[in-house]
Structure 1
Amino acid sequence: MKIGFFDSGIGGLTVLKKVVKTFKGHQYFYFGDTMNVPYGSKPIKKIVSILKSLFRFYDELGIDIVVAACNTSDSIILRNYIDMSVYKFKYISILENAVQQINVNERVLLLATENTVKTGTYRELLASKRVKLSEIACPLFVPLIEEGIWHGPIAESIVNFYLRKQKKYDKIILGCTHYPILEKHIKKAVKGEIVDPANGIVDSLKNYIPINESSPEITFFVSGNLPKFIYNSERILRKNYKVKYLSLAFDESEVVLW
């Protein structure tokens, strides 16, 4: 099967890694829009334009399933900014699979981008569970991670800047796919069970994707600095998969390979 992923940068690789490890020998396609990272502070109109172009491109590639490996994008999509019914592939929501891991009446902390918090999509999805929800936008997390600063005093100080006043929660949703990279620091700063939406994605995909014991093939499409993306992707995946890297950008809602 052909399975597509997308994110503003390297964050979605935390989702791709778990899916490939579980389902193995399929064809995987990943778009990292590092030219426009972070999506968390970009105008929604711009993000919608990029996503529509990407989805047309994925349709042309014959992708069977597209996984939202970006919470910001998914929070916008679930607000019906894009008519997903026009595309041939099956769409898998990361927000919906995060919420599946939350129980009724729990105290929940959502860590997310500014746009994800502003859309209120998580709040709406969690409303039926009557949770006590706190939300914190952490806009410095994504640039920090994209720069490859994942450990040490700089990462720790930035995490503490946002979380130093927090106490204890039942669940802490990592509402951006970049954030699992900082999980060690987050767990030190605030107490609670970490919810990585990627785990819900894997469980959901078991209904659609068979495990294939052959070797996986991964094609990366990257809009920005390709060598930097390659370096960080190898740090995250830590496997010698058969991979291909291509530069891809958007020009007036069209896909341009260069």
Structure 2
Amino acid sequence: MRIGFFDSGIGGLTVLKKVVKFFNNHNYFYFGDTLNVPYGSKPENFLIENLEKTFDFFEDLKIDLVISACNTSDSMVKKGLVKLNNRSFDYISIIDSGIKQVKNGEKILLLATENTIKSGSYREGCIKNGVKKIKEVPCPLFVPLIEEGYWYGAMSDSITRYYLQDSENKYDKVILGCTHYPILKNHINKVLNTDIIDPADGVINSLIVDKKIPYIKGKAHIEFFITGNVEKFRILSRRFMKNIRYSANYSKIDTKK
């Protein structure tokens, strides 16, 4: 099967890594728009146009299944601003994959980008699932921090504490509503000491339960298509994807064409 992923940068690797680890016999295609990262505060028309181009690109590659690995872009689909009706591929929403993991009566803390929060996608879905309370916290410095490789240390710790200091011990679960954020999971755990929902786990469940994709042992191949600095992405992706069995090619792509 040919499976595509998309994100503004390296955040989508948190989804890709889990999928490849579990389903390692498929061909994977990852589009990383590192030239335009972060997406969190980009204008809506920019996000719509870029996502339409990304979907066109996946259709040209004859992708069977697209897995959203960017909550901000996925919120454009959830709002109905980007349509899937006439697309040739199947689609898994990262936002839906997170919402499915909340339960009736829970108090939820959502960490996400400004655009994802503004879309209301998580809030609406969580309320439908019967959550008692939801607080939304934008964390705009997380993505630039992660894209520069600061995954550990005092800087990551202090920025995490700055965003979360008023939310300690007040919530049953925290949703990591941006695919970059699981990279800072240890720092988030230190502050909140709360059950963490990684929507990527819901993606795995969708692949098993909804898509009926079987586990067959093999070696995955990944094609990375990057709009920005390919070498920087290669270094960070290899650092993050260590201990995963796969082969890979890295290519620079011009989205202006």
Q: TM bucket by the smaller chain?
A: over 0.9
- 1:232 corresponding residue in structure 2: 236
Structure (1 or 2) with the greater strand fraction: 1
Aligned residue in 1 for 2:227: 223
What amino acid does structure 2 have at the position aligned with 1:128?
Answer: K
Give the TM-score, by structure 1 length: 0.96
CA shift for structure 1 position 230: 0.4
**Cα distance, 1:109 vs structure 2:** 0.2
Match of 1:185 in 2: 187
| Aligned-partner Cα distance in 2 for 1:20–1:221 | 17
Q: Deviations over 1:147-175 (max 9, x none)?
A: 00000000001101101111221110000
1:94–1:198 contact (8 Å) kept in structure 2? yes
Is 1:150 matched with 2:165? no
1:36-71 per-residue CA deviation (whole Å, 9 max, x = no partner) reads 001111111111111111111111111000000001
Deviation string 1:235-254 (CA, Å, 9 cap, x unpaired) is 11103521000101211xx4
Tell me the SS of whatever aligns to 1:111: strand
- Aligned partner of 2:188: which letter? I
Q: 1:165: which partner in 2?
A: 166
> C-alpha offsets along residues 195-254 of structure 1, whole Å, 9 cap, x if unaligned?
000000011011322223121110000000111100110111103521000101211xx4
The answer for the alignment partner of 2:217 in structure 1 is: 213
Picking from 242, 247, 253, the partner of 1:242 is 247
CA distance in 1, matches of 2:82, 2:76: 8
Hey, what's the Cα distance between the residues in 1 that align with 2:116 and 2:186?
22
Query: In structure 2, what is the Cα distance between the partners aligned to 1:240 and 1:127?
Result: 39
Tell me the distance in 1 between the aligned counterparts of 2:188 and 2:6: 24
Return the alpha-carbon distance in structure 2 between the equivalents of residues 214 and 111 of structure 1. 35
Aligned-partner residue type, residue 160 of structure 1:
R
Given that 1:26 and 1:212 are in contact with CA atoms closer than 8 Å, whether structure 2 keeps it comes out as: no
> Take 1:159 and 1:128, find their aligned partners in 2: how far apart are those partners?
29
The corresponding residue for 2:36 is: 36
Residue 138 of structure 1 corresponds to 139
Q: Distance in 1 between matches of 2:255 and 2:100?
A: 34
Show the counterpart of 1:63.
63
CA RMSD of aligned residues (A): 0.9
Cα distance in 2 for residues equivalent to 1:200 and 1:19: 11
Deviation at 1:129, TM superposition (A): 2.4
State the AA in 1 paired with 2:83: D
Q: How many residue pairs end up in the alignment?
A: 252
In structure 1, give the amino acid aligned to 2:135: S
Partner amino acid for 1:218? Answer: I
1:179 CA displacement: 0.3
Structure 2 contact 220–245 (Cα < 8 Å) conserved: no
Structure 2 alignment gaps of length 5 or more? none
The one-letter code sitting in structure 1 at the alignment partner of 2:219 is S
Q: Tell me the amino acid that sits aligned with residue 183 of structure 1.
A: K
1:18-167 aligned within 5 A: 18-131=18-131, 132-167=133-168
Following superposition, which runs of at least 4 residues in structure 1 exceed 6 angstroms of deviation?
none
Q: Which amino acid aligns with 2:204?
A: V
Gaps of 5+ in 1: none
Q: Distance in 1 between matches of 2:165 and 2:68?
A: 30
Give me the whole-angstrom Cα distance separating, in 2, the residues matched to 1:91 and 1:121.
17
Deviations 1:61-98 (A, max 9, x none): 11000000001111111100111111100010011110
Paired residue secondary structure (2:40): helix
Any idea what SS the aligned residue of 2:255 has?
A: strand
